Amino acid sequence: MSPSLRNTIAWILQVLLGLFFIFAGFNKLRDLSATTAMFGNLGLPSVLAYVVGGAELLGGIGLLVPRLTRLAAMGLLIIMIGAVFMHITKIPGGLAGGIPALVSLVLLAVLLWLRWPVSSRVI
């Protein structure tokens, strides 16, 4: 894959994922009572709703800042692993209801791979 194509695909993913996570985090923080209730129903501490909402919002912004892209993608990847796990184990409907979480997990992994430095040496 040429470096310019790699960069173009990465930027498209960064913008789409950045907007997705900004929107998701903002919605969690906008309706904190429903979010904390949802986390409580899953057996999670309600303070985790603040942490996840804030992390999604800041991570989405971080995806749009070139120096922060890899760090933001790694942090959001951890959150999405947790989201997929919760869909598999505790949320009614299972993984079928967690398709957006699974897709964003895969796309974050692809973005991280695209933004990882490529060695110029060929062995």
Res 57: pLDDT: 98
Nearest to 17 by CA among 79, 108, 81: 108
Nearest to 16 by CA among 24, 6, 28: 24
pTM of the model: 0.90
Res 16: pLDDT: 97
Note the residue count of the chain: 123
Residue with tokens 């796990």: 85
* Residue extents of the structural domains in the chain: 3-115
Residue 43 identity = G
User: Digits of tens for pLDDT over the chain (123 positions)?
Assistant: 788 999 999 999 999 999 999 999 999 999 999 999 999 999 999 999 999 999 999 999 999 999 999 999 999 999 999 999 999 988 887 778 889 999 999 999 999 999 998 775 555
User: Rounded to whole angstroms, how far apart are CA atoms 28 and 30?
Assistant: 6
